[in-house]
Amino acid sequence: MSHLESLLSGCSMAKKVVVTDSLFSMDGDFAPLPELVKLRSKYGFLLVVDDAHGTFLCGKNGGGTPEMFGCEDGIDICVGSLNKGGGCQGGFIACSTRWKKLIISRGREFMFSSALPLPIIASLLAAVHVSKKEGWRRSLVWEHVKYFASLTKLNITSPIIPIIVGIEEAVLKAHRHLHRSGFLVIPIRPPVVPANSCRFRILLFPCSTLHICE
């Protein structure tokens, strides 16, 4: 945040945009959204949050990371995926009516693509209903996070758990060993992650028993 503020304070442009993930997909840590909202109030930039990995997973109603941090009103545009926590297809943009009109009229993706099929829309509405009414599913995920942390003694803060191995040869060797042992855990290698930071990316799901998969 100190680095971002130094960039903002030294920027002479009248219109500034800050874009961030909410829950980082390869490291499993959260962006400090409350601090970003404070900087937004101070410097007046447009704050865009990609909540692809937080939607349906975080917040009392599954409203995502902004709901979890209680700072929805401080975010200008929130985008996300519907094929992760929602189990559907497509994505969404949550914004003001003014931004909505601009995006629909100028966004190339809207000009050159069709609407989502009705069955997908119906399944999404069902996912929203389940997210609001069956919060135990979300609670179970976070119980798995605590349980996994207690088993491994790892300092984890989300259901996305990176196990850093290092060089590519080492992570492939470990992958083969795990696969022979009955665990399919996909190795993550460059260019997805920086060199010498190859890893396993473990995700926890709301099942009755603990399952680990990529």
DSSP state string for the chain:
-HHHHHHHHT---SS-EEEEESB-TTT--B--HHHHHHHHHHH-PEEEEE-TTTTTTSSTTS--HHHHHT-GGG-SEEEEESSSTT-SSSEEEE--HHHHHHHHHH-HHHHTSPPPPHHHHHHHHHHHHHHHH-HHHHHHHHHHHHHHHHHH-----SSEEEEEEESHHHHHHHHHHHHHTT----EE-TTSS-TT-EEEEEEE---SS--EE-
CATH code, domain with 107 = 3.40.640.10
Count of domains for the chain: 2
Which residues, other chains included, contact 189 with Cβ-Cβ below 8 Å and sequence gap of 6+? 168, 171, 172, 198
CATH code, domain with 155 = 3.90.1150.10
- The pTM of this model reads 0.87
Same domain as 30, residue 54: yes
Same domain as 111, residue 73: yes
Predicted confidence at residue 210, as pLDDT, reads 44
**Per-residue pLDDT tens digits for 92-125:** 999 999 999 999 889 888 777 788 899 999 999 9
Same domain as 195, residue 129: no
**Per-residue pLDDT tens digits for 49-65:** 999 999 999 999 999 99
Residue 2 within any structural domain of the chain:
yes
Same domain as 158, residue 121: no
Question: Is the pLDDT confidence value at 214 over 90?
Answer: no
Same domain as 44, residue 33: yes
Most confident of 154-158, 173-177, 203-207: 173-177
What's the CA gap between 117 and 114, in Å, rounded?
A: 9
